[in-house]
Structure 1
Amino acid sequence: MDPHHYHFHSLWPLPAPPAAVYAVLERAEDYPRWWPQVRSATRLAEHTGLIVIRSALPLALTATLRQTRRDPAAGVLEAALSGDLEGWARWTITAGGPGTLARYEQDVFVGRPLLRRLALPGRPLFRLNHRLMMRAGRRGLLRRLEAV
């Protein structure tokens, strides 16, 4: 196992139609409005942006996202990441029960030297940090969906 490699996945049940969830998630530049740990999201070009995230740990991560797939019919949004995190992230939106299931997957390698040095002792904290970020993101998305 490479200590610099992480695969994260989250499943968010949401009480809204899939099209409404997809419409919010496809606007990455709006994430800072509803997801507290997304400190900034700046569009650089039509399919490229810069994101800064920081959760419970006092460490901000910066990554460039390049859209690799946008498929509303399949409910898929996917981006390649480069910078402090190298790899990919994907949202898959499907109907589930009375609402929607939003599945988030991320497969990344840490590239930042500090994170690489802390890979083994910090791994449990990094995973917890990600869980806390995702939990807050779901709460923020629920509030956003209620407002639209």
Structure 2
Amino acid sequence: MDWSHYRFCSLWSLPAPPATVYAVLERPEDYPRWWPQVRAVTRLDDTTGVLTIRSVLPYELSFTARQTRRDPAAGVLEVAMSGDITGWARWTVTPDGPGTLARYDQVVDVDKPLLRRLAVPGRLLFRTNHRLMMAAGRRGLLRYLEAV
């Protein structure tokens, strides 16, 4: 088993129409406005940007995200990532009663040297750190959607 390999899935139930949620999620340069752990997003071109994130633990991850799929009709946004983490992430936005279910799937390998060295003893902490980041993202998006 590669202890630096992670697979995550988060489900966010949101009280807004799918088109509204999709419109917010397709603008990663705005993530720092509502998602505190997304510290910076720098667009390189129409389909690529560099993101810096930090959750509870005292380390940052920086990676380049390149859009590989943007399908508003299917509610899918997908990126390939390279840098401190390598892999892919996908948002899938679908109707859920009067609101939306936003599903976030991510499969990555951690390439940052310090985190690779701490892979075995730190695995539970790293997974918890990710879970806390996703929970904060959902709370931030809820507040942001209320304001728009």
Task: Provide TM-score, normalisation by structure 1.
Answer: 0.99
Distance 1:6 1:62 in 2: 16
Q: Deviations over 1:40-97 (max 9, x none)?
A: 0110111000000000000000000000000000000000000000000000000012
The equivalent of 2:20 in structure 1 is 20
Give secondary structure in 2 for the equivalent of 1:59. coil
1:4, distance to aligned residue in structure 2 (A): 1.0
The equivalent of 2:89 in structure 1 is 89
The equivalent of 1:128 in structure 2 is 128
Q: Which amino acid aligns with 2:45?
A: A
The equivalent of 1:32 in structure 2 is 32
The equivalent of 1:67 in structure 2 is 67
Distance 2:122 2:97 in 1: 37
Give secondary structure in 2 for the equivalent of 1:133. helix
Q: Which amino acid aligns with 2:59?
A: L
Q: Which amino acid aligns with 1:5?
A: H
Distance 2:58 2:115 in 1: 12
Give secondary structure in 2 for the equivalent of 1:45. coil
1:98, distance to aligned residue in structure 2 (A): 1.7
The equivalent of 2:51 in structure 1 is 51
Which segments of 5 or more consecutive residues in structure 1 lack a partner in the other structure?
none
Distance 2:67 2:147 in 1: 26
State yes or no: 1:144 paired with 2:134: no
Distance 2:25 2:11 in 1: 14
Give secondary structure in 1 for the equivalent of 2:55. coil
Equivalenced residue count is 148
Aligned-residue identity in percent = 74
The equivalent of 2:78 in structure 1 is 78
Aligned CA-pair RMSD:
0.5
Task: Provide TM-score, normalisation by structure 2.
Answer: 0.99
1:28, distance to aligned residue in structure 2 (A): 0.3
Extract structure 1 runs of 4+ deviating beyond 4 A. Answer: none
